[in-house]
Amino acid sequence: MKDNAYRLRAERGEVQLGTWITMIRTPGVLTLLKAAGLDFARIDMEHSPFSMETVADMAALARALDFPIVVRPPDGNREWITRLLDAGVWNLHIPQVDTPEQAAEVAACARYAPLGERGMYGFGPHTMYETLAPAEHMAAANARVHVTAMLETKQAFERLDAIAATPGIDALTIGPTDLAQNLGVLGTPAQRETLTGYRQRLAAAARKHGKHVAMITDSLEGVREMIDLGATIINYSSDAAVLRAGYASIAVEVRRGARG
């Protein structure tokens, strides 16, 4: 079984750069993103039409390419976590974690005993269809999985230290738009400064408890800011946003030239 390059880089404290996949459903996009120099792709199932079949196909190619994918399910419950892990997904990005109890449940669902309560399924994509001794499989799977908890509400930050202390949660991040909405600052002049403060609080809690920090941004300046903050897992923009921005900039120049 291969190692999880995403987890290994995180443990070494290396900065890794990825992007959201929200629109392009062909697994071949992973080949393009790897060739572009990215370190991972984050597949969004919460706000996209992706099916389990699509994500399972992406996971198979990701393992073959040794190009990690991270998947955000619609919910951090046992059903979604089990299905994704058994489809061969190694990295989970769990939304709306508001309490330490939720964090503990997520961690338990993602790992086998004695670390958790993940359901046992013989062999399949998660074992590369190899038949492994149960103890060997369980230990390897537990060491390979990487779980990020998203804090997206004021309620979550009231319990920040306890969530950060939860065993089995490997990284912390915010959901900036949902958090801004919950705090009542979305679209206001106070949004940027408010979110900066919450990011700083999260990074401090992560350092205290030995967790990795993951952040998202949509600019090169933002990438530098997140690195300065202490983030080592950085998601830059998305497939849809990068495509739109690229084509829009060309269209503007062509029309400007045509008018000249």
Q: What is the pLDDT of residues 23-33, one digit of tens each?
A: 999 999 999 99
Count up the domains in the chain and report the number.
1
Q: Please give the Cα distance from 125 to 54 (Å, whole number).
A: 14
Instruction: Quote the pTM value.
Output: 0.95
- Domain enclosing residue 250, as ranges: 5-259
Q: Please give the Cα distance from 26 to 5 (Å, whole number).
A: 22
Using one digit for the tens of pLDDT, what is the confidence trace for 173-220? 999 999 999 999 999 999 999 999 999 999 999 999 999 999 999 999
Q: Please give the Cα distance from 138 to 250 (Å, whole number).
A: 51
Q: For residue 201, give the CATH number of its domain.
A: 3.20.20.60
Low-confidence ranges of the chain (pLDDT < 70): 1, 260
Q: Please give the Cα distance from 112 to 100 (Å, whole number).
A: 19
